[in-house]
Amino acid sequence: MENHTDNKKISVVIPSINGLPIIKECLESIYRQKNSDIAEVIVVDCTDERTRKVIRETFKEVILIYPQKKKPIPELRAIGIKEAKCDILALIEDHCLVPEDWFTEILKAHESDYVAIGGAVENACQDKVLDWATFFCEYSAFIQPAPSGIINILPGNNVSYKKNRIQDILDDAIDKGVWEGFIHQKLIERGYELFSTP
């Protein structure tokens, strides 16, 4: 496999557990970015061959990885992080759709010295009360108007890191296969501040 990352600035890692059409919609939102050429996109898929066939045929630039056995999201994410080559590491999940200026805002935010930067998360599944209940349980701290500034917690599905600055913490998280809360707690213990931008 050849990877041309000389002009790439952002590695986007997407664990894929929901299959079609979810991952296709996610990737379409990524490639609607005005500057989508600055990112390498890594999908770690544990769904089915039909999903992978659509990804291969529709999104030829995607680095597609598929473990032999089903794995939880943290382990899928860890596999993608190991593959990532760019200085900025951005994590989302397959059910997420990003706005057209997402890469631009990530780059702008990383002009600062903060190593972990997260943004807002809004609910697109609004049909059922259960959809809202699930959303509020996980993401109520990140709905608009999202805070701007130093914060104690960041979402796991709209977060980016200066990879080279925290590689050892990421390596530790990869080895343990843990959720983002582990990474963020380790960063705080090291004296890093988590930054939120709407």
**pLDDT at res. 76:** 92
- Mean pLDDT, rounded, for 3-22: 88
pLDDT at 167 over 90: no
**pLDDT at res. 198:** 83
pLDDT digits 0-9 by tens, 85-134: 999 999 999 999 999 999 999 999 999 999 999 988 776 766 777 766 77
Model's pTM, two decimal places?
A: 0.90
Residues 54, 84: contact at Cβ < 8 Å? no
What is the DSSP pairing of strand 149-151 with strand 194-196? Answer: antiparallel
Contacts with 178 (C-beta within 8 Å, 6 or more apart), sequence order: 74
Decide which of 2 and 116 is more confident.
116
What's the burial of 64, exposed, middle or buried (CB within 10 Å: 0-12/13-18/19+)? middle
Closest CA to 86 of 174, 12, 165, 27: 12
pLDDT at 174 over 80: no
**pLDDT at res. 3:** 46
pLDDT digits 0-9 by tens, 136-153: 667 667 777 877 899 998
Return left, alpha or beta for 177; rule: phi > 0 is left, psi -120 to 50 is alpha, else beta: left
pLDDT at 2 over 80: no
Residues 29, 95: contact at Cβ < 8 Å? no
